[in-house]
Amino acid sequence: MKRAVIIFTVMLCVLAGVSSAQDGKPYKLIVNPANPASALPKAKVSKIFLKQEGNWSPVDLTGSSPVRDAFSKDVHGRSASTIKSYWQSQIFSGREVPPPEKGSDAAVAAYVKANPNAIGYVSAGAAVDGVKVIRVNP
């Protein structure tokens, strides 16, 4: 019995580690539960968050968030700072405004939960009740 408990506990820890990070990434990509997607290619995720792909409502963490910077480097291949410069050119040429920014994982999750077309990212260990985690494919 004791061995079973130990094995069960170890399994729980392993599963928690798997669900808290996608392939070792420091973030999780989340969508509304009504969204049929289970995975998206990285290039498409980048376009969605740069608002170059229609019918999505992306949401970012604030610029100072290390998770945002990690997401930006992984998905866009650029730091959050470089992406901000891109947004400045878009804003002041009247072309587009950046996605809304939220100050916490919980706020991002709440936004995604409330918007059928929403897509966001939270830290790897964040609670994801009420939203769906999807994979980012290479």
Q: Does 137 bind another protein (CB under 8 A)?
A: no
Does 116 bind another protein (CB under 8 A)? Our answer is no
Q: How far apart are CA 20 and CA 41, in angstroms?
A: 20
Task: Enter the DSSP assignment of 100.
Answer: P
Instruction: Kindly give, in sequence order, each residue whose CB lies less than 8 Å from that of residue 11, ignoring residues fewer than 6 positions away.
Output: none
Distance CA 107, CA 99 (A): 14
Q: Is 84 in the site for another protein (CB under 8 A)?
A: yes
Given 9, 19, 38, 88, the residue binding another protein (CB under 8 A):
88
Answer for the pair 98, 90: CB distance below 8 angstroms, yes or no: yes
**Closer CB to another protein, residue 44 or residue 132?**
44
Q: Should residue 97 be labelled a site residue for another protein when binding is judged by CB under 8 A? A: yes
CB of 8 to another protein, least distance (A): 42
User: H or E segment at 30?
Assistant: strand 27-31
Task: Using CB under 8 A, list all residues that contact another protein.
Answer: 43, 47, 52-54, 62-64, 77-79, 81-82, 84-86, 88-89, 91-95, 97-103
